Chains A and B, each alone.
Chain A
Amino acid sequence: MAEHKSYSNKIGLWGWLGGGRWGFERYLYTLHRITGLGMLLYFCLHIFVTSSRVFGLDAWEKWMGTFESPLFMVGEFLVFVAFAFHALNGIRLILIELGFSVGKAEEPVYPYKSSLNVQRPLMVVLMIVAAVLVAAGGYDLFALSH
């Protein structure tokens, strides 16, 4: 085939983040990745902070004192939100990726329904559970702790 000049139209990260007329599951896909990366960042910070104990009690208490500010409280809550979402959505993905809750192949009849419709009740239930967890976590963190 003759060589021809063409323009690379790959959209990179915009493929994750680009909104528009997309389905709900695509946002869950993006959020799952963002929360996963967020928790990885938290995990690294967590190891860094807890390792301060080897430098003595003073170093440990200095770091712990830093985290008592309201800003870090909110950050801690966001980590919990990320955990609740990532865990519950992860259960949905594990079930789906093992072929559960996507239904069997069927003759497509217009207007088409897909496996997305089949898994949606599971998605709704798990997202409600995640929301309840987040509410309980927020109540515990902001109302009971003070």
Chain B
Amino acid sequence: MTKKVQKETDITFYIRRYNPEKDDKPHWQKFTVHVEPGMTVLDGLHNIKETQDGTLSLRYSCRMGVCGSCGMLLNGRPSLACNTQILDIAKKVLTVASLPNFDIVKDLVPDLTPLFEKHISIHPHILRGDSGEMLNPTGEFYQSPDELTGYLQFTYCIKCGLCMSACPTIATDPEYLGPQALPQSYRYSKDTRDDGFNQRKKIVGDTHGAFRCHYAGECSNVCPKGVDPARAIQLMKRQLVWDYLKLRRRRAKSPILGKPEGVERIPEIPEPPPFTV
């Protein structure tokens, strides 16, 4: 593939500003930034903050698409500012705004509280009936590589909120669990170590649950980690329908593998540290 040649140029940034102490509603402010090839939107925003307006507020942390802090609406599309290069999406003008469907705390900082509340509501952890084994494990829960592949894709979620801000269903139904929480419910329901499907189905099969999704597919288009939330939601619906029709296959819980018997530990390998919880 031939690499597109990009030249340094001046780009006009239109940034949607909102200061809760002064403003009743957001307004657009214009900045001009000299952009070189390779500069990310986050670099451009730092340039503005350092040389033009120190009051610009934004949230960021890792600068490499891992932490999910710098989600913004860039030229009308929810994206991470740190892994979007300016010249890839703008020739002369770049619009930067806070993520839609989330309240604005200040300037480019969205209030992601609904995302985390919805995430918590689906019990995003392994649920098992044998609490004794959970608290005092006697071995490992066995899982085959194929079983791992069945949900691994959905574990890469970084909770950046891009999917929820792109979702047209959330736009008109703020109570909808959305493309962040629903794939996580599938991720745990598909996990062979987990036994919490019946507990989660009451939440994800409810009015504002999985069946509100009608596959606009934007969550999968904007996800910066390839999680494909739209796929997980459809697979979750499949489980819910099959369960309702009593056709869902009951799978055995992961067996507990204790220490192997009749073999000696290789002396060079140190013992694991004691449990801390």
Contact = CB atoms under 8 A, between A and B. Distances in A.
User: Are A and B interaction partners?
Assistant: yes
A103 B234 CA distance: 10
Interface in A9-48: 9-16, 18, 20-23, 25-26, 28-30, 32-33
Interface string B214-254: 11111011010111101110110111010000000000000
A25 B238 contact: no
B104 interface: yes
Nearest to A97: B237
A23 to B, nearest CB: 5
Interface residue SS majority, chain A: loop
A9 B110 contact: yes
Given A6-B20, A11-B100, A29-B215, A108 B172 contact: no
Given A32-B214, A108-B226, A15 B20 contact: no
Contact of B77 (A21, A29, A96, A104): A21
A21 B76 contact: yes
B126 interface: no
B182 interface: no
B3 to A, nearest CB: 15
Interface in A93-137: 93, 96-99, 102-110, 112, 114-116
Contacts of A97: 211, 213-215, 234, 237-238
A15 B226 contact: no
Contacts of B226: 108-110, 112, 114
A5 B241 CA distance: 42
A10 B170 CA distance: 9
A9 B78 CA distance: 14
A7 interface: yes
Nearest to A115: B231
Interface stretch (B7-15, B144-152, B199-207, B261-269): B144-152
Contacts of B153: 105-108
Interface residues on A, range: 35 or more
Nearest to B238: A99
A9 B220 contact: no
Nearest to B236: A99
B231 A102 contact: yes
B217 A116 contact: yes
Nearest to A6: B103
A83 to B, nearest CB: 18
Contacts of A145: none
A69 interface: no
Given A10-B100, A115-B228, 4 more contacts: A6-B20, A8-B103, A28-B216, A93-B214
Interface of A: 4-16, 18, 20-23, 25-26, 28-30, 32-33, 93, 96-99, 102-110, 112, 114-116
28 contacts: A7-B23, A9-B104, A12-B171, A15-B101, A15-B167, A15-B169, A15-B171, A20-B76, A21-B77, A23-B216, A25-B217, A26-B217, A29-B168, A30-B216, A99-B237, A102-B235, A105-B149, A105-B152, A105-B153, A105-B154, A105-B231, A105-B235, A107-B152, A108-B226, A115-B217, A115-B231, A115-B234, A116-B221
